[in-house]
Structure formats: C-alpha cells, structure tokens
Amino acid sequence: MRVRETTRRKDKRFNLEKNRYLSHFYRYTPSGEELPEKHDKRISQKIFYSGLAYLPLNYVVTRIPEAFHRFEIIPGSLQGVNIFQLQEMPQLFHFDSTGFWNPLTPTTSLGTRLVVSTICVVPAVLMGLKMDMWFRPLADGQKGDNRLKTLKEIQQIYPQIPESKGGFPGYGGIPITHYKKYWYIQTDTVNTCIVGTSRSGKGQIEVLATIDNLSRAERQSSMVVNDPKTELYVASKDELEARGYDVYAFNITDPLQSMSDNPLALIVKYWKRGDIDTATQLTNTFTNTIYYDANASDNKYWLYTF
C-alpha cells in the first residue's frame, strides 16, 4: 500500500501555471521509516462507542413502559355520545408528561431500571463494536512506508524528452508521467503492468506514447506489439514507416491480411545444419502445441496414424 502524506505550502504563493499541469499544489513530506502505529485492541475506543450507544438506548427503553402507564382513558368520555352525530372527536385519552422527558428524573422503580439497564448492555456493546469498525483508522500497522514520488524527484531520476516532435539522444522507454510539454520516461529494463478498465485509455496514454518515443529516439528499438483489435497498428503504421521502420502485421485470424510465416522454418534451418537433436526438440515442441492431449500416453503420436 502506498501512503502519501501532504502538507500545504505556506512559504510560497499560489502558482496558477503549476496548478494547471498538476492536480494539486502540495509539497510531499515523506514519512521515512516511521510505520503506522498498531492500535491493538482499542479497548478505550470500544468502551466509548458502547457508552455512546448505551445512553440513548437506555433512555428510550426505560421510557416505553412508563409511557403506557401515563396514558389514561378519561372516564365517561364516550358516555351518551352518538358516534353518527359527532361534529368533533372528544378527548378520550390523557397523557401526564410531568418529568417524563427529563433523563435525570426516575420514572420507574429501581428494580425495573436495573433490569432494563442490564438488558440494554448487550445491544449497546454490539453497536459500539460496529461503530468502532466504522471509525477506526485504515492505516493500522501496515508493513511499509512507500509514497508517491514528487515532481522534483521525478525530474531528478527520469530522463526528460519532448512531448511529441523531435528526436532525443539515447533510447526511449515507458512514460512515467507528463508535465507541461515533456514526458519523463523509464529507460531501465523493467517489467511494467498497466492496470485500467476497458476504454480507460491504456492504449492511448501509455502504449501509443511508448511506441512514439521509442521510434523518435536516436537509438531506435525493435518492437513486438500485441494488438488484437488492430487499433495500434492503424494508428502507428504510417508514422513508423516514415521514421524508417519495417512494419509487419501477423494476423492469424485473416492470413490474407498478414505477413507470411513458416512455422517449420526454424526446424528446417537446424536440420540443414546437421543439428538433428535441436531439430527434433523443436519438432516435439511444435507438435506438442498442436496435438497436446493430457490423457495420452508416451505413444500419443501413433494415435493419429490410424
């Protein structure tokens, strides 16, 4: 998990130009080796939330039976009244609210209050545990103190290349970030995983930008690009050819729109050299790809001769 701690810049005026290219104008304060503290069992917090839930719960529950006792039917309220000739409804009930809403005023006997208070403990504790789960901090003793690099650190570590036009010395690489009219790229030999939902811009933002800067570099790199929808091929073919690349499309779905390919060429090459062992190994690899059967024995190739 990456943790990013930020503090407002108080020693520098607001920079509108910088805010235009960044989604923030913060200065990052690295947390160093200080890991988030472990909050252990959080007993005091659980007691606090349980008490917070207990007070209103106990108040409401103790008032419910008292409310029934305070309702009184007015004697003779319906005596001699013809309900079919009523102009307005007579008062049937009376509720004595004296001291009822005051939480400090006892409304029931001591024994009743003790029983009700004991019953309220269990749901109050359950509610307190639930509230503690809601409000406890997420950074609870994680192992690691990584953070996102600042713009200044990125500018110091990664090579800066022009945004779209013009060459640059050395090799191209994977774009790390974009600031103003420049890309900052990773030129080391690393594996890169680009994560995003469908149509989120992975190809436009990362893949096409990588193809572009690799081809604009002074030392151009060969590229093998997996392109199931042919979008990358259509978008970059003409520009790559203009920059001196030989572009080939290997289309298994439509061989007529594909470069030629002989899967036996490498086998024939080693056979002609007299390297029978390597040719045999490559033949086994090729046939295993086509005729693999998990349930077949060592003589599986004889199964296809009958």
Could you tell me if 169 and 245 lie in one domain?
yes
Residue range 79-118, pLDDT digits in tens: 555 555 545 555 556 666 666 667 666 666 777 778 878 8
Task: Locate 261 and state its tokens.
Answer: 């390919």
**Residue 35 maps to a domain:** no
Phi, psi for residue 161 in degrees, rounded to 5: -130, 160
According to the model, what pLDDT value does residue 266 have? 94
Instruction: Provide the token pair at 223.
Output: 């590229």
Q: Which residues contact 47 (CB under 8 A, 6 or more apart)?
A: 128
* pLDDT confidence tier of residue 172, bands split at 50, 70 and 90: very high
Measured CA to CA, the distance from residue 215 to residue 209 in angstroms comes to: 10
Q: Is residue 10 domain-resident?
A: no
Q: The tokens of 92 are what?
A: 């049937």
- On whether both 251 and 279 belong to a single domain, the answer is no
Cβ neighbours around 101 below 10 Å, total: 10
The per-residue pLDDT for range 200-237, each reduced to its tens digit, is: 888 888 999 999 999 999 999 999 999 988 899 999 99
Residue 165 lies in a domain: yes
In the listed set 77, 105, 135, which residue is the last one of a domain according to the structure? 135
The CA dihedral of 159, 163, 164, 168, to the nearest 10 degrees, is -30
What is the token pair recorded at 60? Answer: 């409401």
Regarding whether 64 and 122 lie in a shared domain, the answer is yes
Q: Are residues 106 and 171 in the same domain?
A: no
Instruction: Provide the CA 110 distance to its chain's centre, in angstroms.
Output: 54
- Res 292: pLDDT: 72
CB atoms within 10 A of CB 28: 17
Q: What pLDDT score does 87 carry?
A: 54
Domain match, 49 and 113 both: yes
Euclidean distance between CA atoms 233 and 114, whole angstroms: 79
Residue 164 has pLDDT above 70, yes or no: yes
Model confidence at 7, pLDDT cuts 50, 70, 90, reads very low
Distance CA 84, CA 151 (A): 84
DSSP-assigned beta bridge partners for residue 162: 182
- Is the four-CA dihedral 174, 176, 177, 180 of positive or negative sign? negative
Residues 211 and 165 in one domain: yes
Asked whether residue 156 falls in the same domain as residue 241, the answer is yes
Residues 158 and 253 in one domain: yes
Last residue of a domain, one of 135, 159, 177: 135
Domain containing 278 equals: 265-304
* 23 domain residue, yes or no: no
Asked if residue 121 has pLDDT above 60, the reply is: yes
Rounded distance, CA 279 to CA 123, Å? 76
**187 and 275 co-located in one domain:** no
Q: Comparing 146 with 250, which gets the higher pLDDT?
A: 250
User: Is residue 28, in this structure, part of any structural domain at all?
Assistant: no
Report yes or no on 113 lying in a domain: yes
Q: pTM of this prediction?
A: 0.49
Do the domain assignments include residue 19? no
Is 166 a member of any domain? yes
206 and 271 both lie in a single domain = no
What integer pLDDT is reported at residue 158 of this predicted model? 95
Q: Which of 82, 103, 135 is the last residue of a domain?
A: 135
CA distance linking residue 115 with residue 65, whole number of Å: 13
CB burial readout 271-287, b (16+ within 10 A) else e: beeeeeeebeebeeeee
Here the tokens at position 265 are 């060429």
Residues 172 and 243 reside in one and the same domain: yes
- For the chain, the domain total comes to 3
Report the distance separating Cα 55 and Cα 51, nearest Å.
6
Q: Answer yes or no: do 247 and 298 share one domain.
A: no
